[in-house]
Amino acid sequence: MLCPVTNAASALGSHVTAPAISSGSPIRPSAACAPTAVTDSGGKRLVIGVLITPGLHTSYNDYEIVAANLLDGADRKVSDRIPAYALYIDPPLGRVGLTERQARETGRPVLVSTRPMTRVGRAVERGETQGFMKIVADAETRQILGAAILGIEGDEAIHGIIDAMNAKTPYPALQWSVPIHPTVSELIPTLIGDLKPAS
């Protein structure tokens, strides 16, 4: 049976299918892996790869929350966790937080920026220009609401945005950082600088 992977489909603007799977188990992590296909709206297959559900890392984070609350007197909650995942496809996809559609549905004033990988130096240098980078932010709070990087090293480059979201860093602070060249991450400040109201 095939089921839509809605977050990835929203990030890609295409249809993603994968066999129905459970959240995985620390004892049998292979249950969390399934072949994945991404198609465009015409049904043309774009990429194939493996979807890894975040079961093991999420479970460990559950442990960290329980341990902090019981042993350290913390007040951590699972509901504070920002959803993030990767699709290990070719090119890889890294995702965090809300999609543009989800952000719009909140009624907030939303800013969006998209950059094709054909305009990312590292992707051009390596001859792997398929994909894009996208970021969604709240215009009033200046917080990053979500992001997707579908392209070379997207599964790695997304971590800077995951960290900024967890630290509640306003996006202008990232815009003026001086990144290392040539990397995919070096275009995150440029992506932020191009944020515009969602149309």
Annotated catalytic residues are 181
Give the CA angle between residues 103, 108, 111 to the nearest 5°: 70
Residues linked to residue 98 through DSSP beta bridges, in sequence order: none
- DSSP annotation string for 70-132: HHS-----GGGPPPEEEEEESS-EEEEE--HHHHHHTT--EEEEEEEGGG-HHHHHHT----E
DSSP-based three-state secondary structure for 4 = strand
**Contact indicator for 172, 138 with CB cutoff of 8 Å:** no
b/e for 111-143, b at 16 or more Cβ within 10 A? bbbebebeebebbeeeebbebbbbbbbbeeeeb
